[in-house]
Chain A
Amino acid sequence: EDKVVQSPLSLVVHEGDTVTLNCSYEVTNFRSLLWYKQEKKAPTFLFMLTSSGIEKKSGRLSSILDKKELFSILNITATQTGDSAIYLCAVALNQAGTALIFGKGTTLSVSS
């Protein structure tokens, strides 16, 4: 059975802290790994990773994939209250339709 596991499930930090969110996966037909941020409504796309060791960056957020150990991390530096959200990790399968298998998400709360 394909599965994606995120940890921790929830996290509370203070503004300015750096956080690392984890995502491990076991799937039969890996194509790519994606990170999404979900605030009150629809998930919004952050990163797509396909190759090991290549860091993707966007402002204070960065992510990297390890295809040998089957995991990815999402780092957020100098956190702000606006970073409070659910962060979702998903794996795209290499099959017709490229379905996404989602983890349960990490709920991040940043206090001021």
Chain B
Amino acid sequence: NAGVTQTPKFRVLKTGQSMTLLCAQDMNHEYMYWYRQDPGMGLRLIHYSVGEGTTAKGEVPDGYNVSRLKKQNFLLGLESAAPSQTSVYFCASRQAGTGKDEQYFGPGTRLTVT
């Protein structure tokens, strides 16, 4: 039982390049989330999904797109990377309908855009 995994762990991009971050969970959770964490800013929600085939915008969605084609995977895409997207990206998941709001986090992806 690996929990929540993220690929890659580190990446350096040049401005204007594109990439996709992959999040996978093996806990059969309904809900999945993408956050970014910047120094002194806490975690901010980018996009989230309440089930396969659904996505919704969070607090800071601009410059990102997401897809949830399979229940266990949640992809975060950057179409044209900008230096302002340099950050640590965390994926999280949680089960629906349990009364527990705890989200389980992946280990993070450190992205640098030069």
Contacts and interface: CB of A to CB of B under 8 A. Distances in A.
Interface of A: 4, 9, 31-32, 34, 41-45, 48, 88, 90, 92, 96-105
Contacts, number: 59
Contact of B101 (A9, A31, A43, A105): A31
A9 B102 CA distance: 23
Given A48-B100, A96-B50, A104-B41, 15 more contacts: A4-B42, A42-B106, A43-B90, A45-B103, A45-B104, A48-B102, A88-B42, A92-B101, A96-B56, A97-B31, A97-B33, A97-B50, A98-B31, A99-B45, A102-B35
Interface of B: 4, 31, 33, 35, 40-45, 48-50, 56, 58-59, 90, 94, 100-108
A104 B56 contact: no
Chain A binding surface SS class: strand
Contacts of A99: 33, 45, 48, 58
A100 B45 contact: yes
Contacts of A100: 33, 43, 45, 101, 103
B105 A42 contact: yes
A34 B56 CA distance: 22
Considering residues B33, B44, B56, B101, which has the most beta carbons from chain A within 10 angstroms of its beta carbon? B101
A103 B107 CA distance: 20
| Closest 3 pairs (CB-CB, A-B) | A42-B105, A92-B101, A102-B42
Nearest to B48: A97
A41 B108 contact: yes
Nearest to A107: B40
